A and B are shown apart, each in its own frame.
Chain A
């Protein structure tokens, strides 16, 4: 039983590395009592510094009450750190069991020392996601809420957080619940057709079934489309900057990211490899990729960089093609064609750079060529003088806005697993509608619609899945 699941567990809940403070959490019955021997309460709201008479202990603190305390190594009797410690009484805690939360100083050594003392004195180390799993087992949240908790934790931009919160508040479940109801109703109609075939008064509900299934399909398709935005919110939007050497790619990266991330020099071909920087543009999580300059080169290392640059374009959401005032028309045309082999015209933005240094003399011809190729978004900027930078950001934002096609405030799918399930749900629902239309028989439709329900149920929790139940908490980090 020494490492039994019922033993209280602890972990550091703040990220690794040095921070101002760190939070260590413990959960399980008698967590506070276990810590009493090495936690000296110095002060609470009611009890002044050094008041030895009252002998306030951690386990004696009521729920939700914090205290200023010292953690003392029980063997060496040395003070480890002065901390703020909070006691939570079951079931009024995150996990639903008794909990203790320690806010200590953020140094790695301090954290490790406190954890060591706890582990040597009655606690075991938490498994990944165990705090949330315990909350789940204690009925504090359901599986889809647990999954949403993870999305909230992972959200690293304001919009992602908004979408994740919406999910946590059950908006997605509610929408999917309504879709499920429609499909259940359609299934009931099918059963009426099938179950009493001898009876002439059994209504022929096929058309009604089709119209209900179509309604459900529309709603699922909307959700599915929202993942174009959701994917960006959860996995970031990749914006690649490409162009001939010295076309100002790195300068743009620097001005967008606000500090000198890339090495900007006057020598063409400085950026031999791709360089990435994460930033938020108007609330959208963006990864900017500064690619190697694209040009024919004999330099082997640089050639690898160029090849990598093209590869980068393929996996990017948006490509900024930088053209400097000195770019030759023939070069421009050649590279435009090359770039469009790796991306599509609607993803490509033509950026005339260094507008402070004058206009490219072929710009009209270039614009015409670009438009012929289907590239509509063209902008002229100066990174040095910060001209049209805000407008360029707007180009990126509006690309995002157009993706989902959905009105603001509606639900955005964030999670790839959800997207894949909705995708499979729409696929089977389409099949069901097709089966009725083709006269394959309503029972085929009913069978296939059950696949739709099963897929949706894996999000709403109506479909029990061993895999999900076993894995969902494992996807959390330790301490969550």
Chain B
């Protein structure tokens, strides 16, 4: 433990640089959201970054969104966060993934202009009241011991500046004690050649926080000039989709027309690629034992893909632009830590890339993180009072996962400073809730990537209704302004009005209608039928029946989609809500704090150990702990019922 006084005594350069409500360490996607939320909620906040030009950096994919991640961005925006707004204004291509798979998994994804994203976010934050942004290397967390428990008092920079504060949010990304690995070449640095964070990890570990070490990686960037696109398949953007930001859409913002969006390209690895990789596996630090951090299963390096899916002869690679004012192209799906000479050969074995000029090498990066099992669902540490962590430091992977935690850490840090009730989103409310619950309840032994399959109620957790789910919460805590909330309320009034209109408007068979229905593989109605009933039919869309629905009002894409989804999936949504009700029942079943799991003989030993260690708040959470089975939970429930008079 290092107190402010100890720091002043030990370090002759030490001085008190200022006093804040909250310090946010790290200005990546988590840090930016956390700082924004704190400042917006009237807390005097300072945001530290190792390098001001790399604020909100996109060191890997130049894209935001995708399956499950697109949902996260919409949720962050619905709560009042910034990622969606910035992404909308920096998008150079937008698409809606999974269009044919059903509304629950529709996922918006956009290519970003990387440098524009960074400076747009920086500028937005610079203009916020209550927020200072400072380039500094934070090396120590300052704490004191209050009644046997650590409590944060500030942070210490490498130059001796002490920033006193009541709350600290650490969003260190992949920077803590990081090293990059390229073949046998190991460099002690952060990603993109940026400085790394030193000392902070040890200062957390000293306080008894268990630390883990993960690895991740990124592919090469090539110069567009050297690419032969004739050998690639073109992928254009789409413009019939709403932007990420609900508020931007209300303000009339529209996604750029397809023709002015930048295309992406797709190719397949060749037999030669496979041979080069498998022939050089002995030089891979992954297999030679140089890398001991654990990598992400769902975002593996290309050598990992060839080893693990050896039955697959080839893998798909996407070639994506890094921005409008750069020639750099990103090879998605081709991350590697093989040596530089092998990388050159690998890249040049790909279609259209035989003359590729590599501008940045691929590399793997290892970094320190905290064990997320030591966190509360508010993202506050169970060990250090007032310490919050968000993003990759909690074991996640991805910009959107980081930002989702960032906003929650920022909000809860603010709520604590303001003595207000904490904000915990549950698994039936948001992907953000699923993400955080998974991390703090199950922990993770690899970088955690959000996937739609992790959400039990994804038919309800859609990207299109994120505002319906979360904007009331954002408004309640003060992140959503009055005006925007009114717009939101008006939007759903319009949705309801339109649904009513469609239910009450009847049509009967006509040549126009019959043609639409036959085209959709449906049959002409035998008698009068409401427009709502028509939309319920498979393959019949709101848009398709426009011809026979002359009196329809002009509505935004979002409203139309909300109306369509509500009507079309009514029966299925009802079943989903049944499940949610059952889920809520278990979530609301609080476990008495005095419970002694060792008294319950019917529990398996592993369950007793895990439950005793994690001490879940409710039966629902207990059931999600790995190593605790439904049978254990039944025992727990029966035990609680039998002993209900003993726990009052």
B512 at the interface (CB under 8 A from A): no
On chain B, the number of residues with a Cβ less than 8 Å from chain A's Cβ atoms is: 58
**A466, B459: Cβ atoms under 8 Å?**
no
How many Å lie between the Cα of A200 and that of B333 in the bound state? 13
| A451 contact set on B, CB distance < 8 A | 575, 578-579
A444 at the interface (CB under 8 A from B): yes
How many Å lie between the Cα of A200 and that of B318 in the bound state? 11
Contact of B451 among A5, A96, A195, A428 (CB under 8 A): A195
**Nearest CB of chain B from residue A9's CB, rounded to whole Å:** 11
How many Å lie between the Cα of A142 and that of B603 in the bound state? 11
Q: Mark A1-23, 1 if CB is under 8 A from B, else 0.
A: 00011000000000000000000
**Nearest CB of chain A from residue B266's CB, rounded to whole Å:** 7
Closest residue of chain B to A441 (Cβ to Cβ) is: B102
* Contact A466-B586, Cβ < 8 Å, known A194-B98, A450-B579: yes
Closest residue of chain A to B99 (Cβ to Cβ) is: A197
**A136, B575: Cβ atoms under 8 Å?**
no
| B645 contact set on A, CB distance < 8 A | 4-5
B421 at the interface (CB under 8 A from A): no
**Nearest CB of chain B from residue A333's CB, rounded to whole Å:** 40
Contact of A442 among B101, B318, B539, B589 (CB under 8 A): B101
Closest residue of chain B to A192 (Cβ to Cβ) is: B453
**B538, A439: Cβ atoms under 8 Å?**
yes
**B97, A438: Cβ atoms under 8 Å?**
no
State which of A249-257, A292-300, A345-353, A457-465 sits at the interface with chain B. A457-465
How many Å lie between the Cα of A439 and that of B643 in the bound state? 50
* Contact A447-B104, Cβ < 8 Å, known A195-B452, A464-B623, A464-B630: yes
| B67 contact set on A, CB distance < 8 A | 194-197
How many Å lie between the Cα of A140 and that of B642 in the bound state? 17
How many Å lie between the Cα of A136 and that of B104 in the bound state? 40
**Nearest CB of chain B from residue A74's CB, rounded to whole Å:** 29
| A447 contact set on B, CB distance < 8 A | 104, 457-459, 572, 575-576
B601 at the interface (CB under 8 A from A): yes
B185 at the interface (CB under 8 A from A): no
Among B585, B600, B631, residue most surrounded by chain A Cβ atoms (within 10 Å): B631
**A137, B630: Cβ atoms under 8 Å?**
no
**A428, B575: Cβ atoms under 8 Å?**
yes
**B266, A200: Cβ atoms under 8 Å?**
yes
How many Å lie between the Cα of A140 and that of B316 in the bound state? 53
| A139 contact set on B, CB distance < 8 A | 601-604, 635
How many Å lie between the Cα of A96 and that of B635 in the bound state? 14
**A462, B569: Cβ atoms under 8 Å?**
no
**B642, A133: Cβ atoms under 8 Å?**
yes
How many Å lie between the Cα of A454 and that of B630 in the bound state? 12
How many Å lie between the Cα of A442 and that of B99 in the bound state? 11
Contact of B104 among A138, A199, A443, A465 (CB under 8 A): A443
B638 at the interface (CB under 8 A from A): yes
**How many residue-residue contacts, CB under 8 A, span A and B?**
145
**B576, A470: Cβ atoms under 8 Å?**
no
Contact of A444 among B312, B457, B572, B578 (CB under 8 A): B572
**B104, A470: Cβ atoms under 8 Å?**
no
**Nearest CB of chain A from residue B517's CB, rounded to whole Å:** 14
Closest residue of chain B to A469 (Cβ to Cβ) is: B637
**B630, A462: Cβ atoms under 8 Å?**
yes
**Nearest CB of chain A from residue B647's CB, rounded to whole Å:** 11
**A195, B453: Cβ atoms under 8 Å?**
yes
Contact of B539 among A133, A137, A196, A439 (CB under 8 A): A439
B634 at the interface (CB under 8 A from A): yes
**B101, A137: Cβ atoms under 8 Å?**
no
**B571, A431: Cβ atoms under 8 Å?**
yes
**Nearest CB of chain B from residue A464's CB, rounded to whole Å:** 4
**B452, A194: Cβ atoms under 8 Å?**
yes
**B579, A431: Cβ atoms under 8 Å?**
no
**A198, B318: Cβ atoms under 8 Å?**
yes
How many Å lie between the Cα of A463 and that of B583 in the bound state? 10
| B66 contact set on A, CB distance < 8 A | 198
* Contact A443-B459, Cβ < 8 Å, known A136-B638, A195-B452, A464-B637: yes
How many Å lie between the Cα of A139 and that of B100 in the bound state? 48
A275 at the interface (CB under 8 A from B): no
Q: Mark A426-461, 1 if CB is under 8 A from B, else 0.
A: 001001000100111111100110110010010001
| B631 contact set on A, CB distance < 8 A | 142-143, 461
How many Å lie between the Cα of A466 and that of B316 in the bound state? 47
How many Å lie between the Cα of A138 and that of B103 in the bound state? 46
| A431 contact set on B, CB distance < 8 A | 571-572, 575
How many Å lie between the Cα of A137 and that of B623 in the bound state? 17
**A194, B453: Cβ atoms under 8 Å?**
yes
**B634, A448: Cβ atoms under 8 Å?**
no
| A227 contact set on B, CB distance < 8 A | none
How many Å lie between the Cα of A115 and that of B314 in the bound state? 78
B641 at the interface (CB under 8 A from A): yes
| B101 contact set on A, CB distance < 8 A | 193-194, 197, 441-443
How many Å lie between the Cα of A4 and that of B634 in the bound state? 21
How many Å lie between the Cα of A444 and that of B578 in the bound state? 15
Q: Among residues 485 to 544 in chain B, which have CB atoms less than 8 Å away from a CB atom of chain A?
A: 538-539
A201 at the interface (CB under 8 A from B): yes
Q: Mark A176-196, 1 if CB is under 8 A from B, else 0.
A: 000000000000000101111
| A466 contact set on B, CB distance < 8 A | 585-586, 589, 619, 637
**B633, A136: Cβ atoms under 8 Å?**
no
How many Å lie between the Cα of A327 and that of B634 in the bound state? 62
Contact of A454 among B107, B315, B579 (CB under 8 A): B579
* Contact A470-B601, Cβ < 8 Å, known A191-B453, A441-B100: no
| B538 contact set on A, CB distance < 8 A | 438-440
Q: Mark B366-392, 1 if CB is under 8 A from A, else 0.
A: 000000000000000000000000000
**Nearest CB of chain A from residue B624's CB, rounded to whole Å:** 11
Among A5, A440, A450, A464, residue most surrounded by chain B Cβ atoms (within 10 Å): A464
A473 at the interface (CB under 8 A from B): yes
How many Å lie between the Cα of A466 and that of B581 in the bound state? 12
**B646, A435: Cβ atoms under 8 Å?**
no
Q: Mark B73-94, 1 if CB is under 8 A from A, else 0.
A: 0000000000000000000000
Closest residue of chain B to A91 (Cβ to Cβ) is: B601
| B619 contact set on A, CB distance < 8 A | 464, 466
| B314 contact set on A, CB distance < 8 A | 201
| B633 contact set on A, CB distance < 8 A | 464
**B105, A443: Cβ atoms under 8 Å?**
yes
Q: Mark B601-624, 1 if CB is under 8 A from A, else 0.
A: 111100000000000000100010
How many Å lie between the Cα of A321 and that of B425 in the bound state? 65
Q: Mark B436-470, 1 if CB is under 8 A from A, else 0.
A: 00000000000000011100111100000000000
How many Å lie between the Cα of A473 and that of B642 in the bound state? 10
Contact of A137 among B312, B569, B602 (CB under 8 A): B602
**Nearest CB of chain B from residue A113's CB, rounded to whole Å:** 29
B552 at the interface (CB under 8 A from A): no
* Contact A444-B453, Cβ < 8 Å, known A451-B578, A466-B586, A469-B638: no
**A470, B97: Cβ atoms under 8 Å?**
no
B253 at the interface (CB under 8 A from A): no
**Nearest CB of chain B from residue A370's CB, rounded to whole Å:** 40
**Nearest CB of chain B from residue A331's CB, rounded to whole Å:** 46
Contact of A138 among B312, B316, B576, B601 (CB under 8 A): B601
B551 at the interface (CB under 8 A from A): no
How many Å lie between the Cα of A454 and that of B456 in the bound state? 11
B287 at the interface (CB under 8 A from A): no
A-B CB contact pairs (8 Å), 5 listed: A4-B646, A96-B601, A197-B107, A439-B539, A448-B575
7 closest cross-chain pairs (CB), A and B: A441-B102, A438-B538, A443-B102, A469-B637, A139-B602, A447-B459, A443-B104
Q: Which residues of A contact B (CB under 8 A)?
A: 4-5, 96, 133, 136-140, 142-143, 191, 193-201, 428, 431, 435, 438-444, 447-448, 450-451, 454, 457, 461-466, 468-470, 473
Q: Which residues of B contact A (CB under 8 A)?
A: 66-67, 97-98, 100-105, 107, 266, 312, 314-316, 318, 451-453, 456-459, 538-539, 568-569, 571-572, 575-576, 578-579, 582, 585-586, 589, 600-604, 619, 623, 630-631, 633-635, 637-639, 641-643, 645-646
